[in-house]
Chain A
Amino acid sequence: MSVETAGDEGSKLYADHKKIYPAAVAGTFRRLKWAILGLGMAIYYFLPFVRWDRGVGQPDQAVLIDLPGRRFYFFFIEIWPQEVYYVTGLLIVAAFVLFLMNALAGRVWCGYLCPQTVWTDLYFAVERLVEGADRRKRQLLDDGPWTLRKVGRKVTKHALWILIAWWTGGAWVLYFADAPTLVKDLATLQAPLVAYMWIAALTFSTYLMAGFAREQVCIYMCPWPRIQAALTDEWAYNVSYRADRGEPRGSLKQNRKLRAAGEPAGDCVDCGQCVAVCPTGTDIRLGPQLSCIQCGLCIDACDTVMAKTGQPTRLIAYDNDINIDRRERGEAEVHKFIRPRTVLYAVLIAAICGLMAWKLGTRATIGLNVLHDRNPQYVLNSDGSIRNGYTVRLLNKIATTQQFRLSIKGVAHGSRLETSSPAGRDDHALLLTVEPDQTREIRVIVTSPAGADDVKSRGVTFVLRDATGQTVTTSDFFKAP
């Protein structure tokens, strides 16, 4: 058996890092990426400053995660900790949207939306701005000696990077406190230490990830490329090189000669621009690879070259396995977006969104939790009557003080409902005031008279009603010997 062997280069156990110098490129996908980058960053950096009036004494920040107050505000929605399932629902929807995007057009997330891609893209733009748009110039600068010019450029680049990283971390903390106040406090060094620590940590991680780790994150750290490969199918569109059209590749002159002689010749002029513009250094012509984040920049690069050489564009394009095979067999292309998996993902997304919207639209603005005393379960009073104790928590989810009416159903005839907390009375019910956007915990005692035939263990129902007539109920029990 003959054994192929490799030299020393192939025998290394650890790979050296090769810095990537992506060339500047213009075209449809570059414009799309700039638009998404601009929109995403504008939302991220300025959303904390958007105001939303919620009434007196309430935070007026549109999006606020109030950790000390245990509240999450999103425009007209206010979520309490016990409603965290809305956040869970949101995460499930996000996962299905990711799967749907993948079923339609592969790694859309990786190429256009992932923060790692977006921030790295921005850092590349800064690099090109400071060190030159020409990738060879940047390479020469790195390889060259440390001149004053090189030091100046490097310092400028890293300063700009750190500035962006600092702003990234700074915007993050604004989501957790009143943004204008926090900005003022940060500037006057009055902000809590934890805010500075978060800014420092995120400044560091942004600078490290977007400035240095870059494509290493996608290739070595991120789990999504591995999962994505298992979730895709032959109908999904991926950025692909059309080998059937491009091969055999060769210089424009050589291929023209071959073509004239009736020999096979492809459209690929082997200029290497697709590799030069790639932010992860991938050669798309080798076929689908884990390192390809499918950002479409090679499509732009190739289209530019094709236009210059007077050949049809989209030698590199969004393509799928089905059509690659069909073209090979000389069949017409087919496109199929409605497939079991796309329909299933869409239905699941719609169902979960619908369920959440319905729950959110119909949820009560009052709440009632009842906990029967565990020890003792009941108490025998000196006159022979039976007493049960409950801990009752009342929730007022609106921004004004409310008076609630708490009553109980299903107890023995002549039973009394009482509390040791300040409360008014309305017939057999208790009238309880709860502060705006607060909960109130009270101890409630139910006493059933001695000797009545119907004093026995039984299920009971607590009923809470607000001034508008909105009612919530909670079932519990009354325990007797």
Chain B
Amino acid sequence: MAQQELDHLSGQTTTGHEWDGLKELNTPLPKWWLYVFYVCIVWAIGYWFVYPSWPLVSDYTKGFFGPSMRSAAIADYEGGNAARLANASGLADAPLDKIKSTPAFLEFAMANGKAAFGDNCAPCHGSGATGGPGFPNLQDDDWMWGGKLEDIYQTIRFGIRSGNDKMRDMTMPNFGKDGILTKEQVADVATYVMSLSDTAVKGTDSGKQLFADNCASCHGEDAKGNIEMGAPNLTDKIWLYGSGVAAVEVQVNQPKHGVMPAWEGRLDPITIKSLAVYIHSLGGGK
């Protein structure tokens, strides 16, 4: 490379590369630019030592300062929790209606409750809290065990038929299966029950009498239910196990009973309160 060709138009040297008569001019890069490349290469090698990089036989190089995405994520998560709790100091001891009326508490409880609902409640009640057959809809205004803030709080804490000491576990007898009522009587009373909310169904006097004798003690004379016993209102449009005479017959014959776990001990007190406030706010709360 002692002698190089000169491009006579520009007066610059060429690199000697030529394509179809076009020659590449040699426009030298400044030296400092080259040094910046070298520095970048050295910098890149630095990564080998600072971060986990090389695979070994049964392990890998850990990096000088032991960085780990996992521990960083956990630290972020815990830092976030601590920061949020700092905003809500006093929430753990605050009564439920105080949480509802204090904007800072309410904001925290709504956000925390929404997240906790997605993690813990959505598998049964659905991500929109609309439930499904056998799993109560928490959006509507029909509450078997009460829809007041305190009632919801109690249900979440101790559950229903959960095995918890303070659970509520009333059950409905197997009127048909255990021979309390005959098959015809079951059909009769089911038809009467359905007639209470559906004007197209006509009930009989015998059905009404059967209801008064067997059902009214829990569901009430007017069949509007009793939240003390978890007895649902039979006069409204909402049916946990399906509407229609046939569905009611099945439920009278051998009732299905849902189970709600007790969350006290599984979730921290602040989260349980947050869940109660969140669920109560969904729209159906009393």
Contacts and interface: CB of A to CB of B under 8 A. Distances in A.
B31 A14 contact: yes
A4 B5 contact: yes
B237 A15 contact: no
B139 A379 contact: yes
Contacts of B106: 421
B233 interface: yes
Interface residues of B, number: 40
A12 interface: yes
A5 B4 contact: yes
A393 to B, nearest CB: 13
B237 A382 contact: yes
A204 B30 CA distance: 21
A387 interface: yes
A11 B127 contact: no
A85 interface: no
B137 interface: yes
A4 B34 contact: no
Contact of B32 (A12, A216, A374, A381): A216
Interface residues of A, number: 33
A334 interface: no
Contact of B28 (A3, A14, A375, A387): A14
Contact of B233 (A382, A420, A443): A382
Contacts of B128: 373-376
Interface string B195-214: 00000000000000000000
Contact of B5 (A5, A8, A381, A445): A5
A5 B14 CA distance: 10
Nearest to B6: A4
Q: Determine chain B's interface SS by DSSP, over half rule.
A: loop
A17 B31 contact: yes
B220 interface: no
A383 interface: yes
A10 B34 CA distance: 18
B130 A376 contact: yes
Contacts of B100: 420
Contacts of B242: none
Interface of A: 3-8, 10-17, 216, 220, 373-376, 379-384, 387, 389, 420-422, 443, 445
27 contacts: A3-B6, A4-B6, A5-B3, A5-B4, A6-B13, A11-B1, A11-B2, A12-B28, A13-B26, A15-B28, A17-B30, A17-B32, A373-B128, A374-B128, A375-B126, A379-B284, A382-B141, A382-B142, A382-B236, A382-B238, A383-B141, A389-B282, A389-B283, A420-B285, A421-B106, A443-B281, A445-B283
A-B pairs, top 8 by smallest CB distance, nearest first, are: A375-B128, A382-B236, A4-B6, A15-B28, A10-B13, A379-B139, A382-B142, A5-B3
